[in-house]
Structure 1
Amino acid sequence: MTAVVSEDVEIDHVSKHYAALPVLDDISLRIRAGEFVSVLGASGCGKSTLLRLIAGLDTDYTGEIRVAGDRVRDTSLQRGIVFQDHRLFPWLTAAQNVLAALRNAPLSLYEKRQAVAEHIALVGLEGFENAYPHQLSGGMAQRVAIARGLVNRPRVLLLDEPFGALDALTRARLQNELQRIWEHERITMVLVTHDVDEALYLGDRVVTMAPRPGRIKRIAEVNLPRPRDRADPRYVALRDQLLAGFGQPHTTQP
C-alpha cells in the first residue's frame, strides 16, 4: 500500500457564532503532520463544531484554517471524517458503502475495487464485504465507516466521538484497532471525545477545551510509549491531572 503524504493542520484565531451565541472563541492550534491529536471536552464545549470547520462542512467563522498551507474553503477528499453514528447506507453492502466514498475519485473501476479491498482488509473485515449494515455489529459497522473515511487516502482523518455509542469492550478493541491503523497509515488524525481515558490512550497530545464559549484550556503532551499501558503510573498520573481539570473524581478503568 502506497504511503500517504500527511500535512500540517493550522488553526489561527478561529471564532464561531450561532446567531448571537458564541460557540468557539479565538482557537489557535497547529497539528503536526502525522500527529494524533485528541480534542477533549464536555458536551457543549464546541469540539465537534471545531471538527466540522476543519472538515469544511461549515465555513461561516472568523479566523483561518489551513491544511498543507491551503485554506479550507469546502469539503475535500483530502479530509476524511468518521462520525459517532456510522451513517452507512442500509441498502448497500460493506464493500459498496466504502466504494460509494470513491464516487468522485479520479480512479478506474478496477483501481477503486482494489482500494476498497485494501481498506476492508486494513480494518479487519475480510469475509464481510457482502454483509449489509443490519448484519454487522456496531463495532463492525464503525470499522466500515473508518474504511470509508480512509479509502480516498486523505491527508487528515477527523473522528467525531466514533466509539461513543459502543459498549466498553468493543470500544477498547476499536481503540487498539485505530491505533494500529494510525501507525500503519501515518496520516494526521484528530479525535474528538469526552472520554479522558480514550483521549490519553490514543493521543500524542490532548487538547482540553473549556465551554461557553469553547476555548483551549490546556494542551498536554503524552510522552508515553505505545501501546499505552493504562496501569503505568505515569499514565495514571496524567489521567488524574486531566480529570482534575474537569473537577471529576478518579474513576477506575475496566
Structure 2
Amino acid sequence: MPLQGGVIAISGLVKRFRVDGAELTALGGVDLWIAPGEFLTVVGASGCGKSTLLRLIAGLEHADAGVLSHDGAPIAGPSLARGLVFQEPRLFPWLTVAQNVAVGLENAPLSRAEKALAVAEHLTLVGLSAFARAWPHQLSGGMAQRVAIARGLVNRPDVLLLDEPFGALDMLTRARLQDELRAIQQRAGATTVFVTHDVDEAAYLGDRVVVLAPRPGRIREIVDVKLPARRDRADPRLAGVRERVLRALGEDPGYPRPALVADAAWRRPATLAPAAVLQ
C-alpha cells in the first residue's frame, strides 16, 4: 500500500569539511522540497556534493547551517523511516539472501513472525522469493543489488535513498534494474532520492531531475520530467529532458562526455549478467 508520509524539506543547507587543513564547502545553500511519493534524481559532476546531500538526508552527516526536515521533524540522525542503498550491495557473505534482508529489521519493534513475513513480502517485491536461501556468492550483481533494495525497503520506510546503486553493473543489467526500480517504487509508494552521475539514467528514472553545480555544491536547475510513470526508452521526449540536463551541466547536448552519461560499462562491451548458481 502506498505510504502517506515522506516529505523532505531543505532550506539554506550548508555542509563544510576540512581537507588537508583547509575548509571545503561541499554544499553551499541548498533549497529543495521533495513531495511524498516523488522519484527525484540528483545528477552532477564528481565532487558536486551529490552523495553528501544524500547522507545529510539519511542523517549520517550533520549540516553546518540550514534546515533539513522529514515530515516536519528535524533530521538529527539515522531513522528506520529512511532506507539507504549504496553503490555496492554490501551483503554479508555468511548470511543467506533472506537473512541479509532481515538485517534491515534488526532494530524494528516486530515479532519474529512479523519479521519473517516482512522479509518474504519484500523478496517477492523484488522478484527474489525463489532465492531466499541462496548465498550472496550465488547471485549475479543485479540480483545482489535487488537484495540490497529489499533490505532498504523492508522497514517500510517512507523515504528511500539510493547512492549510485547501479553504477558498477553492466549496461543491460542496469537498464533492467532501472525498469524494476520504477515499478518497485510505484508499488511501495516511498519517496525516492536517487543519486547518479549518468544523465540518461537521471532523465529516465526521475519525476524531476536536480542538477547540482560544484564548488560549492548548489542547485543549478531542476528539470521537470513530464512523462508517464511507465517509461519508454524510445520516447523522443526523453531526448528533450536529457538535452535540458546537459545544458544545465554546461555540456554540449550533441556530444556528451562519457563521464557524464555512462559508467565504466560505456567503455567496454555490454555483457549479460551471470545467472545465479544454486547448489
Q: Give the alignment's TM-score, normalised by structure 2.
A: 0.87
The code of the aligned residue for 1:9 comes to I
Q: What residue number does 1:245 align with?
A: 248
Aligned 8 A contact 1:230 1:236 in 2: no
Aligned 8 A contact 1:6 1:186 in 2: no
Q: Closer, same or farther in 2 for the Cα pair 1:186/1:224, shift >3 Å?
A: same
**Residue 57 (1) aligns with residue 56 (2):** no
Task: Say which SS state the counterpart of residue 105 (structure 2) adopts.
Answer: coil
Q: What residue number does 1:206 align with?
A: 209
Match of 2:94 among 62, 85, 91: 91
Shift of 1:5: 2.9
Distance in 1 between residues matched to 2:229 and 2:113, nearest whole Å? 36
Q: Counterparts in 2 of 1:100-179, with a 5 A limit? A: 100-179=103-182
The code of the aligned residue for 2:11 comes to D
**Residue 229 (1) aligns with residue 232 (2):** yes
Aligned 8 A contact 2:158 2:189 in 1: no
Q: What residue number does 2:12 align with?
A: 13
For each residue in 1:16-41, what CA deviation from the matched residue of structure 2 results, as whole angstroms up to 9, or x when unmatched?
A: 11021111000010000111100111
Distance in 2 between residues matched to 1:15 and 1:93, nearest whole Å? 40
Task: Say which SS state the counterpart of residue 212 (structure 2) adopts.
Answer: strand
Shift of 1:54: 0.3
- Alpha-carbon RMSD across the aligned residues, in angstroms, is 1.5
Distance in 2 between residues matched to 1:8 and 1:18, nearest whole Å? 27
Q: What residue number does 1:191 align with?
A: 194
* Divergent runs of 4+, >6 A: none
Percentage identity across paired residues of the two chains: 58
Match of 2:70 among 54, 67, 72: 67
For each residue in 1:89-144, what CA deviation from the matched residue of structure 2 results, as whole angstroms up to 9, or x when unmatched?
A: 11111100011111110110000000000000000002111111111110000000
Shift of 1:229: 2.1
For each residue in 1:49-92, what CA deviation from the matched residue of structure 2 results, as whole angstroms up to 9, or x when unmatched?
A: 00000000011421111001000001000000000011111111
Aligned 8 A contact 1:209 1:215 in 2: yes
Unaligned stretches of 5+ residues in structure 1: none
Q: What residue number does 1:217 align with?
A: 220
Task: Say which SS state the counterpart of residue 129 (structure 2) adopts.
Answer: coil
Distance in 2 between residues matched to 1:218 and 1:3, nearest whole Å? 29
For each residue in 1:173-220, what CA deviation from the matched residue of structure 2 results, as whole angstroms up to 9, or x when unmatched?
A: 000000001111111000000111111111110000001111000001
Q: Give the alignment's TM-score, normalised by structure 1.
A: 0.96
The code of the aligned residue for 1:157 comes to L
Number of positions where the alignment pairs a residue of Structure 1 with one of Structure 2: 253
Task: Say which SS state the counterpart of residue 184 (structure 2) adopts.
Answer: helix
Aligned 8 A contact 2:223 2:244 in 1: no
Shift of 1:226: 2.8
Shift of 1:232: 2.1
Shift of 1:13: 0.5
Aligned 8 A contact 1:98 1:144 in 2: yes
Aligned 8 A contact 1:38 1:192 in 2: yes
The code of the aligned residue for 2:135 comes to Y
